[in-house]
Structures are given as structure tokens and as C-alpha cells.
């Protein structure tokens, strides 16, 4: 690059943190702002990271920390509602043969690892801060921050999630749409026999599953048809999840006895969204959940967001010219990979909603994962 560049990253989740780390490594001046004062450092239960996510985390220089904090495994079990193992299949190593197929990790631990890497990168970080796009031209964007300061940036990267205010501010009207399913999640102690993810289909829920997240923890989840969130009091969350989970056998009774604190139970609808045409307007570009989202039926949400950051950083640091052609190339490279994942994730859930018993779920999963093994 022939001249210093300045970038504002809006949002400190996986995508925003990752692109900040990569741009700082290349010498780009980066300001990262995050609306929440705590930088989401304690939120969430667990997360499943497929190999293609691990590949990006290794590029970020945090793989050793993720490996030490999480729990790696190479297969997924299909069990009956009573806990009997029906089938165990090896997962494809989508990040390459030198990385595990899958790592489960407590979501706050992953966030804290990424926060540490952002801090070490030398980026300027402002928490509890939002941005208003005042004006932009062909060369940059004038931004007013919620603290009243104004600054001009060469580029604004919108990584502010599903409800991205930046996406709406630049006139992109796409919004997440419910798919008809919802998920209950909770962190719990890991029974000694849980050494991989197991999924039970049937019973009172569409799916009841768990994933180890460390030597001592796991996160458990139950997927059902979505309900009116306003009709479920927050203080009943533990009771509701425990009621659903109590119908399952195997390791579930040991897990269920720890579902007691409603504040530790998360209830979320499944959404889908894919911004079409382009992921930018002028010098403002979307990444991660601000550009696309899908149900976690393939556990690819975080992975796709991390890949967005990696690809955009490659293009930005590899070119002296930041223009529409570069941002459109980013979109076209990513949408060809993201679209099949969004469609497959939604299709798998729809088959369950429709009660299709002969659906080719293994085939869809296999084809999608084989595509994701290729570099983004």
C-alpha cells in the first residue's frame, strides 16, 4: 500500500475483531467501536467451530489459545430420544487435515481471546460507542461518534450484527426473517462421557443436542417451533428448557439437573438473511451477520463471519485502490460461498418443520462441507 489508510470497524463481535486484527497486522490504522460497554465479554453459552473457522483463527494468531480453552473432537453422534446411539459419523476436516474437524468452546472465552488479540494489535477501541454516518464521497466517510467527536475514514466496515444500524443507514433494506424455529441454550458441567457433539431427533423438540466446550463444560440446546417471545417470561426460561430437556435420556438427566438459573438460559429464534447485489454502498462495506445469517443447523454462522473478515482484509491489504470494483469482487467471492450455506441451513430446518422423513440431510451436509474445505 502506498499511503496510510484509516478504517472504522463498527461492532466488536467475531467478524469485527477478526478484520481489525488482520488490518492492523498490515499497518492499517483501525478504530473499533462497540455499542456495549462490556464488549460482549461474558455473553452466551457455547459455540461450535468447524475447521474452516479454526483455519481463520489460526491466521489471526489465536489458534493455540482456542485449542487450549476449547474441546476438540472429530465426530458427531445421532442418538434416539432415550439416549441410545444410532450412528456416529466422522466430521470432515474443513480447515485441513492439520486442524481438528470441530472445536466446542465457551462463547465468552472465544470473545475474550479475540479481545486480547485486538488489544495487542494496537487498534484504538471505544466501548459504549455508536456511529452516525454524516457524509461520504468517493474517497472516504465522515463519521460522528456518540461521544460527539467527528472523524473522516477511508473505509467503514459494518460488523454490527443482525440488526445492523449501519446496514439500514446506507439504504440496504434487507432484514433477518424468522424461519419458524427457535433454540434454547445453556452452559452446564460436562459429564465425563461426553466427548463429542450428540444430536437427538424427535421427542417433544425437533433437536436436542449438546457439545463439549472444555474439559469441564458443555453447552446444551433444544430446538423447537418458535413461540411468541413476549409470552415467555424471562424468569421461566430455566423451567421451559428443563421441561423440554427432561424428555431425553442418555446424558440428558445429568445435564438437565443444572438447568436452574433462568439468567443463564438463552432463547433465540432462527433467522435467515442474505443481502443481494452487493455488500457495500460507496466506502461502507458489510461483513458477518450484518450481511448474512442462517440457522445453526450446519454450525457455520461464526465461521462465515470469520471468513468474511479474512477475505476482505486480503483484498484491502493487497490493493492500492479501494473502489467499487474491489468491494464488488469481495461480494462476488463471498456470496458464491455463503449462499449455498444459507440455503442448506434453511432447507435442513424446513424439512424438519415439514416432517419430511426421507430428506437427504446427510447428502446436503456432505456436499456443503466438502465445498467449505476449499479456501474461501
Pairing, β 150-153 against β 155-158? unpaired
What are 320-363's pLDDT values in tens digits? 999 999 999 999 999 999 999 999 999 999 999 999 989 998 89
Q: Count the Cβ atoms, other than its own, within 10 Å of residue 110.
A: 26
Q: Tell me the average pLDDT of the chain.
A: 96
What are 261-275's pLDDT values in tens digits? 999 999 999 999 999
Supply the pLDDT for residue 193. 96
High-pLDDT (> 90) share of the chain, %: 96
Beta-ladder partners of 220: 186, 210
Annotated domain spans of the chain? 6-70+107-176+272-373, 179-270
d(CA 195, CA 288): 30
Tell me which DSSP letter residue 235 carries. G
CB 348 within 8 Å of CB 297: yes
Secondary-structure class of domain 179-270 per CATH: alpha beta
pTM: 0.96
Question: Maximum distance among all alpha carbons in the chain?
Answer: 63
d(CA 226, CA 279): 29
Beta-ladder partners of 188: 218
- Cell numbers found for residue 3: 499511503
CA geometry: angle 256, 259, 264, nearest 5 deg: 150
Q: What is the CATH number of domain 6-70+107-176+272-373?
A: 3.50.50.60
What are 120-134's pLDDT values in tens digits? 999 999 999 999 999
What are 68-92's pLDDT values in tens digits? 999 999 999 999 999 999 999 999 9
CB 211 within 8 Å of CB 219: yes
CB 273 within 8 Å of CB 238: no
What H or E segment, with its residue span, contains residue 118? helix 107-121
Check pLDDT > 90 for residue 210: yes
Supply the pLDDT for residue 1. 41
113: CB partners within 8 A, 6+ apart = 62, 65, 66, 69
d(CA 15, CA 143): 20
What are 296-316's pLDDT values in tens digits? 999 999 999 999 999 999 999
d(CA 245, CA 109): 25
Amino acid at each position: 500500500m502506498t499511503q496510510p489508510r484509516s478504517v472504522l470497524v463498527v461492532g466488536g463481535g467475531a467478524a469485527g475483531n477478526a478484520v481489525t486484527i488482520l488490518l492492523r497486522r498490515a499497518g492499517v490504522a483501525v478504530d473499533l467501536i462497540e455499542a456495549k460497554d462490556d464488549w460482549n465479554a461474558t455473553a452466551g453459552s457455547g459455540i461450535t467451530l468447524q475447521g474452516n473457522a479454526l483455519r481463520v483463527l489460526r491466521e489471526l494468531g489465536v489458534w493455540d489459545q482456542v485449542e487450549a480453552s476449547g474441546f476438540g473432537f472429530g465426530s458427531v453422534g445421532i442418538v434416539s430420544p432415550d439416549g441410545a446411539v444410532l450412528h456416529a459419523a466422522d466430521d470432515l476436516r474443513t480447515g485441513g487435515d492439520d486442524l481438528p474437524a470441530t472445536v466446542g468452546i465457551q462463547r465468552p472465552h472465544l470473545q475474550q481471546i479475540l479481545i486480547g488479540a485486538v488489544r495487542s494489535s494496537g487498534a484504538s477501541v471505544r466501548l459504549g460507542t455508536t456511529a452516525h454516518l454524516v457524509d461520504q464521497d468517493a474517497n472516504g466517510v465522515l463519521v460522528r461518534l456518540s461521544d460527539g467527536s467527528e472523524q473522516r475514514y477511508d473505509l467503514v466496515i459494518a460488523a454490527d450484527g443482525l440488526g445492523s444500524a449501519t446496514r439500514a443507514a446506507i439504504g440496504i433494506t434487507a432484514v433477518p426473517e424468522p424461519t419458524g424455529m427457535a433454540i434454547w441454550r445453556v452452559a452446564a458441567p460436562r459429564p465425563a462421557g461426553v466427548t463429542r457433539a450428540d444430536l437427538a431427533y424427535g421427542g417433544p423438540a425437533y433437536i436436542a443436542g449438546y457439545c463439549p466446550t472444555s474439559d469441564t463444560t458443555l453447552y446444551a440446546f433444544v430446538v423447537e417451533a418458535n413461540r411468541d417471545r413476549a409470552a415467555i417470561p424471562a424468569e421461566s426460561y430455566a423451567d421451559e428448557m428443563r421441561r423440554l430437556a427432561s424428555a431425553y435420556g442418555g446424558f440428558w438427566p445429568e445435564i438437565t439437573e443444572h438447568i436452574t438459573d433462568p439468567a443463564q438460559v438463552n432463547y433465540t429464534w432462527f433467522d435467515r438473511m442474505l443481502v443481494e447485489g452487493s455488500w457495500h454502498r460507496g466506502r461502507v462495506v458489510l461483513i458477518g451477520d450484518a450481511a448474512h445469517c442462517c440457522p445453526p443447523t450446519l454450525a457455520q454462522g461464526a465461521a462465515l463471519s470469520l471468513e468474511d473478515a479474512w477475505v476482505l482484509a486480503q483484498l484491502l491489504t493487497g490493493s492500492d485502490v479501494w473502489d467499487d470494483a474491489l468491494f464488488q469482487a469481495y461480494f462476488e467471492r463471498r456470496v458464491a460461498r455463503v449462499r449455498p450455506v444459507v440455503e442448506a441451513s434453511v432447507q435442513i430446518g424446513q424439512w424438519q418443520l415439514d416432517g419430511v422423513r426421507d430428506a437427504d440431510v446427510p447428502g446436503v451436509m456432505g456436499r456443503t462441507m466438502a465445498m467449505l474445505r476449499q479456501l474461501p
